[in-house]
Amino acid sequence: MLDPREVRAGNWVIKITGTDTGKRSFFEYKAIGLDEYYYTFARACFPIELSPLILENCGFNNVSGDWQINNGGEEEEERPAFLQYKAREKCWYLRGMKIWSQPAYLHQLQNIYYALLNKELNIRLGKFENIPMMGPIDFFIKPLRKYAHTRELL
């Protein structure tokens, strides 16, 4: 679940809709609306983990395995990327300087982008697709060791 202190109107999250009727998924990508009370809304939501597909849908470009976006200024070619995720280091940078608070989720990235530029990050998410977080639960207990000794039940 989300920490309601981290979200604001316009942040994208995975919302539990509860309307699994065959037409819509039980979970959906949703943006928090202006009229929604954050503390109630956040209890029924999960954060969207950043992935290459999510970054691509947010306007980031893949350059030699790293993801970067510019803010649209005139001298962009001469300066380092505005925001950059270096995949090898698993680290975010702002104009070549390491960001102190590393975003792991989409709403955190949105909030950093908004705080720096005072404009929203352009996000184009499609329909929700099942991710490992929503995979089947394994209820069966497995032995801890490879050759664990098992006994017959009484």
Q: Is the dihedral of CA 110, 35, 27, 4 positive or negative?
A: positive
pTM of the model: 0.73
Under 8 Å between Cβ of 56 and 123: no
Q: Is the predicted pLDDT of residue 4 greater than 60, yes or no?
A: yes
59 φψ region: left (φ > 0), alpha (ψ -120 to 50), beta (else): left
For the segment 65-95, what is each residue's pLDDT rounded down to a tens digit?
999 998 765 555 667 788 999 989 999 999 9
Q: Is the predicted pLDDT of residue 37 greater than 70, yes or no?
A: no
Distance CA 86, CA 73 (A): 22
* Average pLDDT over every residue of 37-44: 68
Distance CA 23, CA 11 (A): 25
Placement of tokens 């505005």 in the chain = 82
At residue 110, the pLDDT reads 94
Cα→Cα distances 126→13, 27, 59, 102, Å: 13, 13, 14, 25
For the segment 54-68, what is each residue's pLDDT rounded down to a tens digit?
999 899 999 989 999
At residue 134, the pLDDT reads 45
Parallel/antiparallel/unpaired status of strands 12-16 and 45-46? antiparallel
At residue 50, the pLDDT reads 92
At residue 86, the pLDDT reads 93
Q: Is the dihedral of CA 137, 141, 143, 144 positive or negative?
A: positive
5 φψ region: left (φ > 0), alpha (ψ -120 to 50), beta (else): alpha
Binned at pLDDT 50, 70 and 90, residue 105 comes out as very high
